[in-house]
Amino acid sequence: MALPPTIPTSFVPHSTATPRRFQTDLTGAFGFFAYAVLGAVVVLALGVFFYGRILAADNAAKSKALQNKVAAIDPKTVENFVRLRDRLTSSEALLGGHVAFTGFFSSLEKILPTSVRFSTFELSLDALGAAASVEGTGVAKSFNALAAASAAFAEDGRIKDAIFSNIVVNKDSSVIFTLAATLDPGIIVFSP
């Protein structure tokens, strides 16, 4: 059988392929990353689940222990502790409002010059017992010693409105004076 003359008996296909350029396949890398994230999420979810179980078991054990401790509490002991707390609170309130002039005398001893002394001294409280005042007469070796005492009172600040009056200078340069002052409430409150 003979083929018609127009149809060739063999042929060579022409190459239409262009030179291939380097191309990366990102779908494989993205898929690997997605599976890694999925695996990490699954591991974290399992961790949270088991940690929740551990916490629930721990909470149940501690609740049981607390119930046992509460059941073991003696009501009489609790009552004694409450009474003791009330006593301590009331004694703190009493001592906090108790007037004690030892703080005033201690600070007076520290700030008053040794060349100034009192011959009479009167401490008084107002009707409420909140404000204290001091009045007294005394002798200073010199007027400078009296000025030093006044400056010491002003510097300390707890002996307020110190007024030195009836000042008489003697022949030996000693000074007789009268003092009137008010006291800061903090200086007359009891402190252990």
**pLDDT at residue 23, rounded to an integer:** 60
Tell me the two tokens of residue 117: 């002394």
**pLDDT at residue 169, rounded to an integer:** 86
Tell me the two tokens of residue 125: 């409280």
> At which residue do the structure tokens 């009167």 appear?
122
Q: Using a pLDDT cut of 70, give the percent of the chain over it.
A: 82
What DSSP string runs through 83-102?
A: HHHHHHHHHHHHHHH-B-TH
Q: How many CB atoms lie within 10 A of CB 147?
A: 14
**pLDDT at residue 173, rounded to an integer:** 84
Average pLDDT over every residue of 132-138: 87
Residues 6 or more apart in contact with residue 162 via CB below 8 angstroms: 150, 153, 154, 179, 180, 181
pLDDT digits (tens, 9 = 90+) for 11-35: 666 666 666 665 666 677 788 899 9
User: Which has the higher per-residue pLDDT, 22 or 61?
Assistant: 61
**pLDDT at residue 170, rounded to an integer:** 84
Residues 6 or more apart in contact with residue 99 via CB below 8 angstroms: 125, 129, 132, 188, 189, 190
**pLDDT at residue 56, rounded to an integer:** 95
Residues 6 or more apart in contact with residue 112 via CB below 8 angstroms: 149, 152
**pLDDT at residue 77, rounded to an integer:** 87
Residue 68 sits at the vertex; the CA angle it makes with 63 and 69, to the nearest 5 degrees, is: 95
Contact 142, 103 (CB under 8 A): no
> At which residue do the structure tokens 């600040």 appear?
157
- pTM score: 0.48
Q: Residue 135's beta-bridge partner residues?
A: 122, 180
Which pLDDT band holds residue 183 (cuts at 50, 70, 90)?
Answer: confident
Question: Given CA atoms 120, 113, 109, 189 in this order, what sign does their dihedral have?
Answer: positive
Average pLDDT over every residue of 73-98: 86
Tell me the two tokens of residue 110: 């520290």
Residue 61 has pLDDT above 90, yes or no: yes
What is the β-pairing status of strands 175-183 and 159-169? antiparallel
Q: What is the mean pLDDT of the chain?
A: 83
Report the SS3 class of residue 77: helix
Domains of the chain: 102-188 (3.30.1360.100)
